[in-house]
């Protein structure tokens, strides 16, 4: 019985996700039509821009890498019943730590990569653990705390980068990292010539597998999910809720820190100040669309990766501004939040369909009884 219910829920989540995506695309089409562009050509160039050749596929994967890691971060916190809206700040701090390492630490490549990845992970984890601790110890709502942490990170980077990492030309960005010190790797670049793809992609895939393993196969994952579904029940069962809240925020922060690592030392090679990375918020869309499931996150980040990396090409070929991609993503978030709407719609539809089927099935038996 529960298996059937489970299946129904899964198909429900899938239907909701598809409905939200379709509505998001429709909203995008309406907006394109509104400014006098043909939506079909717009979407054609948007998707071609993300997928038309091997270089663009590489860029799409590189864009998806950041989204995947942030999406995992948000999804992981969701499973413990926490809303990590602070992925942007965690990205900034993780990215800052990684940038510092990239500028100042010189080691043999394998060892260097370990240090680099750990620095991003740790930076994000520290930024995540603070709201986790405040939530566990003082019951400060994690949404408010992570928003505050975002802006603390924003202004810290704003003044730190010009003071300690200033580039030769511009005041508003850090010096570029030497290419050998980034996450770019010759064999990956050879595989997708000319693209931004980097080892962050492998880090992201590994993270998906590890997080899936933690959630599904370990006691820690079970405890985290128990806290997420009912913290009082979990507490009654002897699970230490506060410890799990802190741990969950720490891991979520670490994942967002990895996104900062892949974004600032792989996708780009420097840090711009005065920008709160929008991936931190796109990641919420990724997690929601992926139903907070690591595999769902994998696929939805690829989808958003296509949108985000194709928008430049679309803008060059048509009159449609690139912000259409961000508009579509935000409309998708809005409709996943209001998923009750389609849930009702689909349920009503299924009810009608199943009633018709029941009537059809019922008719012959009735006939038999009459006979």
Partner 1 sequence: MWLTLTRIFPYAIAYTIPMLVTSLGGLYSERSGVTNIGLEGLMLVGYFATAITIKLTEATLGINALALGVMVGVLAGAVFSLLHAFASINLKADQIISGTAINMLASALTVYLARTISGSGNVRILMGIVRKNIPVLSRIPILGPLFFSQTYWTTWLCLLIWGLSWILLYKTSFGLRLRACGEHPSAVASAGVNVHMMRYFGVIMSGSLAGLGGSVILITYSGEFNGTVAGLGFLSLAALIFGQWKPLGILGATFFFGIATTIANVSQVIPSLNIVPPVVFKIFPYVATLLALVLFSKKSAAPKAAGDTF
The binding site for partner 1 (CB under 8 A) comprises: 31, 35, 83, 85, 134, 138-141, 143-145, 147-152, 154-156, 158-160, 274, 276, 278, 281-282, 284-285, 288, 319, 321, 323-324, 326-327, 329-331, 333-334, 336-341
Least distance in Å: CB of 179 to partner 1?
A: 31
Least distance in Å: CB of 152 to partner 1?
A: 5
Q: Which residue has the tokens 């005065």?
A: 274
| Among candidate residues 300, 299, 276, 286, the one with its CA nearest the CA of residue 330 | 286
Q: What's the distance, CA 121 to chain centroid?
A: 16
| 324 and 46 Cβ atoms separated by less than 8 Å | yes
Closer by beta carbon to partner 1, 117 or else 284? 284
Least distance in Å: CB of 187 to partner 1?
A: 36
Closer by beta carbon to partner 1, 244 or else 336? 336
Closer by beta carbon to partner 1, 172 or else 330? 330
Closer by beta carbon to partner 1, 198 or else 318? 318
Least distance in Å: CB of 35 to partner 1?
A: 5
Tokens of 332: 């998708």
Ordered alpha helix ranges (H), the chain: 2-34, 39-51, 54-79, 87-104, 109-138, 142-164, 186-191, 200-217, 219-229, 231-236, 241-262, 279-289, 294-317, 323-337, 340-370
Q: Which residue has the tokens 């929008």?
A: 278
Closer by beta carbon to partner 1, 185 or else 330? 330
Least distance in Å: CB of 155 to partner 1?
A: 4
| DSSP state letter for 278 | T
């Amino acid at each position: 019985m529960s298996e059937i219910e489970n299946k129904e829920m899964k198909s429900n989540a899938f239907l909701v996700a598809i409905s939200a995506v379709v509505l998001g695309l429709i909203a995008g089409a309406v907006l394109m039509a509104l400014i006098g562009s043909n939506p079909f050509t717009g979407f054609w160039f948007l998707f071609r821009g993300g997928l038309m050749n091997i270089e663009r596929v590489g860029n799409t994967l590189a864009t998806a890498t950041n989204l995947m890691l942030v999406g995992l971060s948000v999804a992981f916190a969701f499973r413990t019943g926490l809303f990590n809206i602070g992925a942007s700040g965690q990205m900034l701090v993780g990215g800052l730590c990684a940038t510092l390492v990239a500028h100042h630490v010189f080691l043999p490549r394998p060892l260097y990569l370990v240090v680099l990845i750990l620095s991003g992970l740790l930076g994000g984890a520290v930024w995540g653990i603070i709201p986790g601790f405040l939530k566990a110890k003082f019951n400060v709502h994690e949404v408010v705390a992570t928003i505050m942490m975002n802006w603390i990170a924003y202004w810290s980077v704003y003044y730190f980068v010009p003071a300690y990492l200033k580039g030769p030309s511009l005041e508003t960005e850090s010096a570029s990292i030497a290419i050998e010190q980034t996450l770019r790797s010759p064999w990956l670049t050879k595989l997708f010539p000319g693209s931004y793809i980097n080892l962050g992609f492998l880090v992201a895939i590994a993270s998906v597998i590890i997080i899936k393993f933690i959630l599904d196969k370990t006691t820690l994952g079970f405890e985290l999910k128990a806290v997420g579904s009912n913290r009082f029940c979990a507490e009654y069962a002897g699970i230490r809720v506060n410890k799990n809240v802190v741990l969950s925020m720490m891991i979520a922060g670490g994942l967002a820190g990895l996104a900062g690592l892949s974004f600032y030392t792989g996708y780009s090679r420097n840090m711009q100040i005065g920008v709160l990375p929008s991936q931190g918020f796109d990641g919420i869309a990724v997690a929601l669309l992926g139903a907070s499931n690591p595999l769902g996150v994998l696929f939805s980040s690829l989808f958003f990766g296509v949108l985000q990396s194709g928008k430049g090409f679309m803008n060059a070929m048509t009159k449609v501004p690139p912000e259409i991609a961000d508009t579509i993503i935000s409309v998708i978030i809005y409709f996943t939040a209001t998923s009750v709407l389609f849930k009702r719609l689909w349920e009503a539809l299924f009810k009608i369909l199943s009633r018709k089927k029941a009537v059809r099935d019922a008719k012959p038996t009735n006939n038999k009884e009459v006979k």
